Every structure is written in structure tokens, then in C-alpha cells.
Amino acid sequence: MSLQCGIVGLPNVGKSTLFNAISTGKAEAANYPFCTIEPNVGVVTVPDERLDTLTKLVSPQKVIPTIIEFVDIAGLVKGASQGAGLGNKFLANIREVDAIVHVVRCFADDNVVHVEGRVDPVFDKEIIDAELQLKDLESVEKKIQKTEKGARAGDAKAKAELEWLKKYKSTLEEGKNARAVEIDAETKESVIGDLQLLTAKPVLYVANVDEGSMLTGNEYSEKLREAVKHEGADVIVLCAAIESQISEIEDPEEHEMFLSEYGLSESGLSKLIKASYALLNLITYFTAGVKEVRAWTIVKGWKAPQAAGVIHSDFEKGFIRAEVIKIADYEQYKTEPAVKEAGKMAVEGKEYIVADGDIMHFRFNV
């Protein structure tokens, strides 16, 4: 399952520095606007202590973690919705991603140019919001014009969709994001699924702070947190420059030592990757054997046959049952036979909803 988070923000907020730290790709990072023109894509391993635990218990020949993709998208400026800067390219790129990681500058440094001439995280956030809202409003208004024809002709479905489209229009005109509209998933897909609205995508904010503010944040990050609390969105505080240094340390002991020196229990990047994974409504289940211990990505709420299908379509088509072990039980009893003997392996059918962290064996017949 390949899902993408787009890293967005104004120019010079630390997007490419963060991307370089977080991914296997190496985007150019420089002190001028539009350094990133074509979007860079990085494939990132999702940190998971449970996978480490299983690896120690099973001692497999191979370990395969789950991944997530990050896309570093060109910096946006005021007027982008009308094509200013690289606006059209930016908006086209962001339309393709599944979720947004919005990087906001929360540090003062006279040596780093700010495209708006001052550091104001709330103002910066609102620039991005306004440009995305304007583009979404354009899309909604075009669909309203098409839908009105069907509604006037007496089409009941068109009438219902028109009412929802008008709600989206008024919400955007009020300066709010499309995700603020309360609507069930099925109706939402029917009404705006084809529009790929930019402000309907789930969002996570990254407050890029100075080195001294990594642990506690600062006045800038607090202003950002206050400004977005009504959205129910997470705010991850980190220093992209330091995270870039941390990511270059390959030796595990040195890595831990570096984190310890800064008073960190885990890197900001690790928190960001985990939060991005959750933002996409993803969970992980595991398969464990001597040949391979592997993490599999599925959408929260999937049933056992769907989960089996990510391994192979035949697993879903011929699904018979799933044998499920909870990670806590595996930790307690150490081996699969011991788990079975303790009566802790459950046999589940087609209606079983997979839980995050389940260890699963599928029985199928095609």
C-alpha cells in the first residue's frame, strides 16, 4: 500500500532540510525561494518497537518494516492560486498526495531569508490556507454550475449534492478549510471525491524551531498550536537542522548518545513519521516466522480478508480463517507453540476487524 504525505510550506521554512533528514532521498536545500521545483519522493521506514521485539523473539532470516512515502513539494507564496511563483505546479503536486505535513517556521534567524520579511507562524499558516481555499473554492463553484442543471431538471441526487456543495462553498468563503464540513465518508466521496479538494486532506503541522527550543517549544510554536487547536490537528515540534545531523548517525549507540545529549528519548523525526502514519488512518499487523518477520500496512477498520489481500490477492479470494496472536501474549510466552498451549491464539473469521499490532497467520484455499 503506497500512500504519500506531502511536505508543504512557504519557501525557506526548512522543508527540504526536513525531507533530507526524514527520507532516503536527498533534496537540494538552500537559502533562497523555489529551491525545490520538481517534487522529491522519499521512502521512509516507519519506526516500530514491536517489530524489534518480534525480531528478538523469532530471530528471523529477514526483517521487513512497513514504509510511508514523503513528497517534498515546491514552496508556495501569496498569489499561488492565481499562478504566482510556482503556484500551479505546487497545487497540482499537492493534489496528488493523501495527507499534508505543513512545515511552519518557528525560529528567528537574520541569516535565513523569510519570503514575507518577518517570522509569524500564524500569518504563514494562513497564507497557505488562503491559497488552498481559493483553489478549492474555484473547484467547488465549477461543480455547482454543473450540478445545478441536474437539480433544476428534478434529479434528486443532484439536489442533495447541490446542498452539500453549497455548504462547502460557504465554508471556504468564511476562510475555513473543507475538512471543517461535517459529512459522512460515503456522502463525502459522492459529493467531492472527484474534486480532490486540497483543504479536505488531513493535515499535520511541524513547528520548525531553533536548537534551544526542541524540548519545550517557544513562543512561535505556542502561537501555532493555539491557532490550529480547533482543527484537532497534531503539532510536532522539532529542529530540522539538528534532526538532519541525527539522521546521519548510523551507529545505534552513537545515535542514542546524541539523543541523550539533547535530552531526547526519541528523535523528532521518529515522532513525525509515526504521526504521519496515524494521520493517514493506517495501522500495522505482523507476520512472524523463522524465514521472515514482516510489518504490513492496512487501513484502520479493515477486516481480516482485506488485510490478507495486501499479502496476495489469492489470500483474500480464498480466505478461510485467520489465526491471531496479540503482541503482549507473544512477549509473555516467547514462542508461538507456547502461545497456542496457553490458549492465547484466537481463530477469527471474515468479520474480524484487525487490530493494530496483531500477529496473523491466514488460512486460504483457491
Contact 327, 51 (CB under 8 A): no
Which residues, in sequence order, are CB contacts of 116 under 8 Å at separation 6+? 10, 78, 123, 124, 127
User: The C-alpha cell of 44 is what?
Assistant: 521512509
* Residue 265 annotated as part of some ligand binding site: no
How far is 289 from 193, CA to CA, in rounded Å? 40
How far is 21 from 276, CA to CA, in rounded Å? 15
* Residue 216 annotated as part of some ligand binding site: no
Contact 320, 365 (CB under 8 A): yes
Query: How many angstroms separate the first and last alpha carbons of the chain?
Result: 23
* Residue 17 annotated as part of some ligand binding site: yes
DSSP 8-state assignment for residue 303: B
* Residue 310 annotated as part of some ligand binding site: no
Contact 329, 358 (CB under 8 A): no
* Residue 55 annotated as part of some ligand binding site: no
Helix, strand and coil content of the chain, in percent to the nearest 5, comes to 45, 20, 35
* Residue 208 annotated as part of some ligand binding site: no
Contact 75, 85 (CB under 8 A): yes
User: The C-alpha cell of 336 is what?
Assistant: 508461538
Q: Give the strand order in the sheet containing 203-209.
A: 40-45, 67-72, 4-8, 99-106, 203-209, 235-238
Across the chain, which distance is largest between two alpha carbons, in Å? 70
How far is 28 from 35, CA to CA, in rounded Å? 7
Contact 313, 365 (CB under 8 A): no
CB atoms within 10 A of CB 291: 11
Beta partners for residue 40, in sequence order: 72
Instruction: Extract the annotated binding site for ATP.
Output: 12-17
Instruction: Extract the annotated binding site.
Output: 12-17
